[in-house]
Amino acid sequence: MASAMTVDGTIRIDWSMPWIGRLLSLPLLAASAYLLWNVALGLQQDFSGFGRLADDLVPVLVFTGLGLLVGIPGLILLTFRYFVVLNESLRQIVITRQFGPLNIRSLRNLADYHLISITDDYDPQLTTYDVSLCGNKGTAPITLSSFTTRDEANRFANELGRVLKLPARDYVGTEPDADDEAES
């Protein structure tokens, strides 16, 4: 879920990784650590004189590649963060996806967005309500938060709309536009 913080005309909305995502990263990191530990043991044996690196070069490269191939997604799952900074005074939106030391940022103009929408995912058992900034056709919506109850989503959208001076519209239970279905 998300949390919002307002400081001096800047709104920061953090979208935290669900605990299940962090839990799924642990087996990947354990498998990676096991493979890389075996590489380290093999290299230690080769460099201490009990083996030849030429004989162990292919297994060392394969285990290193597999360790990195399994470990990097585990590291991404463990350290993933997504947050949106809405700067009302500069009329800018900065979307940041961060995992580990890597930051991927995209800058958008707040003037391109003219309403806050609340939508659901049409799943009767596990319904989530997404709060998004929406603009004209061709402008990609920015999902700000996801809630499990409609009242929380409405409350968050109304507060955000009051601060940004944008209308909040509830589209829960409505059918998608015909243009949206053709694009899918």
CB 148 within 8 A of CB 128: yes
Longest distance between any two alpha carbons in the chain, whole Å: 73
Residue that terminates a domain, selected from 57, 79, 101: 79
Residue 150 structure tokens: 């409609």
Same domain, 44 and 69: yes
Structural domain tally of the chain? 2
d(CA 2, CA 147): 8
Residue that terminates a domain, selected from 60, 79, 98: 79
Residue that terminates a domain, selected from 79, 101, 125: 79
d(CA 158, CA 121): 20
Q: One digit per residue, pLDDT tens: the chain, 184 residues? A: 455 666 667 888 887 777 887 898 999 999 999 999 999 999 998 888 887 878 889 999 999 999 999 999 999 888 888 888 988 888 889 999 898 888 999 999 888 888 898 888 776 677 788 888 888 888 888 888 888 888 888 888 888 888 888 888 877 766 655 544 444 4
Same domain, 86 and 164: yes
Tell me the residue range of the domain where 165 lies: 2-17+80-183
- Indicate the angle between helix axes 53-79 and 19-47, nearest 10 degrees: 160
Answering whether pTM is above 0.75, one says: no
